[in-house]
Amino acid sequence: MKISKLAAVPVVFLALAFSCENREDLSLSESEKQILGQWNWIESVYYYTVSGIPYVMNPDSLGYSVHLIFKDNGSFETYRNFLPESSGTYWFETIKYDNGTESPLRLFTQEDEYVKSVNFSLAADTLILDETEVDGAKRIFARAR
């Protein structure tokens, strides 16, 4: 008995639906939901210094504020003292290494041709963007109210 093309369509859609959903997709959508909105910079800590003593910066010590806005269309904007500073796109992804292991979910941003990825953590109203693996800072943000 031959299955008509019309009867095969729902089977194909069901197969695609179940094959596309996996644990990464669920984590990805949850991270996307949690990061949406405006984040106010609290402080940055540089651990790799000449003196070996971490260097802490914050809006008071530098004299300016920083705000990040993550939108649901995959774009972000950065403001310094409430003036636009930069913008681009963002997404979440893991990195697959040559040895077969995989990184935790990472936040990727792209401004023009420059792509950057950072470790991130989201807990309640705190966002941490961690670039210490490449001698960068650990930047801490609080969700704007």
Tens-level pLDDT at each residue, the chain (145 residues): 444 444 443 333 333 343 344 444 444 467 778 999 999 999 999 998 888 899 999 999 999 999 999 999 999 999 999 999 999 999 998 888 899 898 888 899 999 999 999 999 998 899 999 998 877 899 999 999 8
Q: Sign of torsion, CA 53 57 61 63?
A: positive
Which residues, in sequence order, are bridge partners of residue 57? 44
Distance between CA atoms of residues 76 and 125, nearest Å: 18
Q: Cβ of 112: how many Cβ atoms within 10 Å?
A: 8
Predicted pLDDT of residue 125: 93
Distance between CA atoms of residues 87 and 135, nearest Å: 23
Query: Position 129: which residue type?
Result: L
Parallel, antiparallel or unpaired: strands 126-130 and 137-143: antiparallel
Which CATH topology does 23-143 take? Lipocalin (2.40.128)
Q: Note the pLDDT tens digit of each residue in 85-119.
A: 999 999 998 888 899 898 888 899 999 999 999 99
Q: Extract the tokens encoding 50.
A: 């000449």
Each domain of the chain, given as residue ranges in start order, spans 23-143
